[in-house]
Amino acid sequence: MTSKRIKKNKPNKRTNCAKLFIISGPSGAGKNAVVCGILKKLKNASRMVTCTTRKKRPNEKPGKDYYFLTEKEFKQRIKESDFLEWAIVHKKHYYGNSKKILEKLQKKYAIILLVIDVQGAKTIRKKALPHTSIFINAESEKKLISRIKKRKAMMSNESLKLRLASAAAEMKQAKKYDYQVTNYENRLDETIERVCAIIQKN
């Protein structure tokens, strides 16, 4: 399926407030590829860069993929109530997104994509912050496992094991999301179209 350009969403002039879309899904579901595709199509959408205490991977850039913090720095930010939400993901590292960054993005963009795990989505649901949530999944657990294993070169065996363990638990949360989208193998464009359509509808 070829991708078509989709018309831009306009910022909400009355409230000057962008719409927030939470995107979650297990490791290997293809969330990042989907989000990259959305950003190419919707020029007034932005992905919120979040903070993490995990080590930078060789292909990642600070400030573009994540803000890489030490655990001490991260805990200090928790104390200062800097995070909209934060969580320990894959039982190992801290991840969180800054309220200040969200405020800045809200002034510039009509659509903000927040790619966070199921714990983060739960916190935002509890805070009753207006948003639309989308869960991206693979077509089967088997497919997911094989995709996670392909990332072997990018991460340690321990990280790989933790991601495999979290995937099953994360998939159980899918029904709590407003939308569930399956990212079928070799059909990325189609998935991007479907998620863009959801964004435009909301």
183 near ligand 5GP (CB under 6 A)? no
Number of residues that bind ligand 5GP (CB under 6 A): 14
Site string for ligand 5GP, 81-110 (x = CB under 6 A): ----x-x-x-----xxx-------------
Helices (H) and strands (E) counted in the chain, each on its own, are 7, 9
Which phi and psi angles does 32 have, rounded to 5°?
-65, -40
Separation CA 48–CA 129 (nearest Å) = 16
160/198 with CB nearer ligand 5GP: 160
Residue 97 Cβ vs ligand 5GP, minimum distance, rounded to whole Å: 4
36, 177, 198, 31 alpha-carbon torsion, rounded to 10°: 10
| Residue 22-61 contact track with ligand 5GP, rule CB under 6 A, x = bound | -----x----------------------x---x-------
Q: Are 38 and 192 in contact (CB under 8 A)?
A: yes
Beta bridge partners of 97: 85
Q: Is 119 in the site for ligand 5GP (CB under 6 A)?
A: yes
Q: What's the N-to-C CA distance of the chain in angstroms?
A: 24
Residue ranges that bind ligand 5GP, judged by CB under 6 A: 27, 50, 54, 85, 87, 89, 95-97, 115-117, 119-120
